[in-house]
Amino acid sequence: MRKAFIPLLFFSLFLILPASAKTVVSIGDIEASPGESITAPIMIYDVTNYGVGTIKVTYDPSVVHVTDVASTADSSVIAWSVDNKTGYVSISAWNMMGVSGNISFADVTFKAVGSPGDISDLNIEIKTLKDITYKDIPATPINGSFKIQVPSPTVSITTDKAIYHPGDTMIVTINLTNPLNTTQELLFVWFFGIPDEGYWKKIVDTSLTLSPDSTSIIQRRIPIGNWRRSFNAVFLVFILDPETYEIIDDDSVKWSYMTRATVWRENRENISANIGEEIERGVEGHYF
């Protein structure tokens, strides 16, 4: 009897339970740096003839504050109120003509006020949601989150010019920052490439130690040879975790080499390799 009864019970419950609403209201997951303000939309997905709504978002005020709410192309904000002591914002908005599909209900500006690594839930409460005939639109709220990013070391690379000619000296500047209060052991990798020809060469691969709360500037002067033909080049730099090899940060800079006479040769790979070796020699012998 039980084996027959249990499936019948679940089948009956399935028939009487309401189906999940097709329309979804979502804020998404947001990340920001300490003290940073970032604007994110409250989205309504798969809606038909959206007319008017009031949506409330609650949050941890020790982590994040709401500083502004703005209308979107889909929805005009009628009124909004915020309480950054309690931790909520309530927004009323409408579209008198009606709009369907995936729409942006309102743009909300959040400011990170907590500490690195703090996380707050962003809980959606749908007070009202109606179409242009003022009929209720059943909708499912999907909560999001707000996370304050933990600062990490950064790397950047620049050249003093965008175009070089035979006999020039290229000045390359690499900036390394460590915003953390602990020493960081990193791997530093520098690539030279001529993307149009599929040529890449690793010219630096070394360990680096960055002091706490520090900025390091490295400059290299690279002689530009008579390389016989023009090409577009790029430098790529990476800093990685020395144990996991996870990329912590990266940057790139594009530059061009122009010569008066362009010589086309069949063995272009050898020419590219020679250029890469010259650039590598221009960097060798320096401490990173």
Rounded to an integer, what distance in angstroms lies between the CA atom of residue 288 and that of residue 171?
16
Q: So what's the pLDDT on residue 275? A: 83
pLDDT digits (tens, 9 = 90+) for 211-222: 999 999 999 999
Residues of the chain scoring pLDDT < 70: 1-21, 260-271, 284-288
pTM for the predicted model, two decimal places: 0.63
Q: So what's the pLDDT on residue 229? A: 87
Q: So what's the pLDDT on residue 283? A: 81
Q: So what's the pLDDT on residue 253? A: 98
The set of residues, in sequence order, having a beta carbon less than 8 Å from that of 238 and lying 6+ positions away, is 155, 187, 188, 189, 190, 247, 249, 250
Rounded to an integer, what distance in angstroms lies between the CA atom of residue 210 and that of residue 177?
8
The encoded tokens of residue 100 equal 């369907």
Kind of pairing between the strands at 163-164 and 247-257: parallel
Q: So what's the pLDDT on residue 260? A: 67
Rounded to an integer, what distance in angstroms lies between the CA atom of residue 162 and that of residue 104?
41
